[in-house]
Amino acid sequence: MSSTDSPGLWPRLCGDLPPLDVPFLDQEPDGPTRHLALALAYRGDGFLGWQVQPKGPTVQGALEKALTKLCDQPIRVAASGRTDTGVHAWGQVASFATSSTLSLERMRRGLSSLLPPAVWLRALGPVPEGFHARYSAQRKTYHYYLWPQAQGGLFLDGLCWPLRDALDLAPMAQALAGLVGTIDMAAFASAGGDPGESTVRVLHRAEISPVPGGLLEVRLTASGFLRHCVRNLVGSLVQVGQGRMEPSEMARMAQAGKRLHPGPKAPPHGLYLARVFYTRPPT
How many CB atoms within 10 Å of residue 33? Answer: 9
Helix H, strand E, coil C: the string for the chain is CCCCCCCCHHHHHCCCCCCCCCCCCCCCCCCCCEEEEEEEEECHHHCCCCCCCCCCCCHHHHHHHHHHHHHCCCCCCEECCCCCCCCEEEEEEEEEEECCCCCHHHHHHHHHHHCCCCEEEEEEEECCCCCCCCCCCCEEEEEEEEEECCCCHHHHCCCCEEECCCCCHHHHHHHHHCCCEEEEHHHCCCCCCCCCCCCEEEEEEEEEEEECCCEEEEEEEECCCCCCHHHHHHHHHHHHHCCCCCCHHHHHHHHHCCCCCCCCCCCHHHEEEEEEECCCCCC
Among the options 30, 72, 84, 194, which is catalytic? 84
* 5 counts as catalytic: no
**Do 69 and 111 touch, CB atoms closer than 8 A?**
no
Q: Give the side-chain half-sphere CA count within 13 A for 82.
A: 18
Catalogue the active-site residues. 84
